Structure 1
Amino acid sequence: MSEKAALGSWSSGLCGCFSDCSSCCLTFWCPCASFGRIGEIVDKGTTSCCLHGSLFCLLGGFSYLAGIYACMYRTKIRRQYGIEGHQCADFLLSCFCSACTLCQEYRELQARGFDVSAGWKGNVQMRTSGVTAAPVVNGGMSR
């Protein structure tokens, strides 16, 4: 099987904003918050939402630097989930259609089972909330 055949696609289209108005509104009114949430989930909590959002906001004033920063995370999402695409397309989309790409990335993480608004720690807590103790293992080997 070729590499291209093994790769998947995005769970929603680039212009699929109508399927999730809340992430679209967040991205339209405050793209820094949207990007911060995405960045925290993609980095698995190693960097906070606040730091990602602040950097995105600061870089937004300097031509396409915010687009380059967003491109890095779009590429990370594609690689983590085996989504088909190219870094050149990630760059162009992140620079010229940043709101659409952020919405698509937000929806992708939601489709992968994340509550993006809860952050990384919130998602970890939700997934482990039912686990209260390690499973009991019967002692010794038996025949």
Structure 2
Amino acid sequence: MQPQYNDGKPQAEAEWSTGFCDCFSDCSNCCITCWCPCITFGEVAEIVDRGSTSCGASGALYALVACITGCGCIYSCFYRTKMRKQYNISGSQCGDCLSHFFCELCALTQEYRELKSRGFDLPLGWQGNVERQNQGIAMGAPAVQGGMTR
């Protein structure tokens, strides 16, 4: 992975904000992920994809892959890599795949906690987070005055 540059200086790679096995630091997400990992994956994927895919679509595709292959990790490990690259978190693609293969639930909850620590409210989705960041101010087209009158 090539370092990102800021003002001509290489930017150091960051570490994950929480440990891989810190699942119980967010008990509600740990329980949801344990019983229905497609929900956590969908929420993470929507934020990582910046709203280009919905939580529902990503979660459904994850569930489909998991039902057909028995390994949702085949799909989810690519999002871990994408997320690491977005936030310049240290690691490798091989490590991402191994993390998801050996403990899918720990990997998903760590990604969820990482986005949460970066200020995202994952249940709101991408659009909800954008609106929250803009403090609910709708950015629409400017009002246009009436046309020419005589």
State the TM-score, normalized to the length of structure 1: 0.85
The change in CA–CA distance for 1:5 and 1:32 in structure 2 (over 3 A counts) is: same
Question: Shift of the alpha carbon at 1:68?
Answer: 2.0
Q: Which residues of structure 1 form unaligned runs of 5+?
A: 134-143
Contact kept, 8 Å, 1:40 with 1:48, in 2: the verdict is yes
Equivalent of 1:92 in 98, 101, 105: 98
Verify: 1:115 aligned to 2:117, yes or no: no
Question: Shift of the alpha carbon at 1:5?
Answer: 8.0
Equivalent of 2:51 in 45, 58, 62: 45
For residue 34 of structure 2, give the secondary structure of its aligned residue in structure 1: helix
For residue 118 of structure 1, give the secondary structure of its aligned residue in structure 2: helix
CA RMSD of aligned residues (A): 2.0
State the TM-score, normalized to the length of structure 2: 0.81
Q: Which has the larger radius of gyration?
A: 2
The change in CA–CA distance for 1:55 and 1:132 in structure 2 (over 3 A counts) is: closer
Between Structure 1 and Structure 2, the one with more helix by share is: 1
Question: Shift of the alpha carbon at 1:26?
Answer: 1.1
Contact kept, 8 Å, 1:64 with 1:95, in 2: the verdict is no
Give the whole-Å Cα distance in 2 for the aligned partners of 1:131 and 1:5: 33
Equivalent of 1:17 in 10, 17, 23: 23
User: What is the total number of aligned residue pairs between the two structures?
Assistant: 132
Q: Corresponding residue for 2:75? A: 69
Contact kept, 8 Å, 2:131 with 2:137, in 1: the verdict is no
Percent of aligned positions that are identical: 51
Equivalent of 1:102 in 100, 108, 118: 108
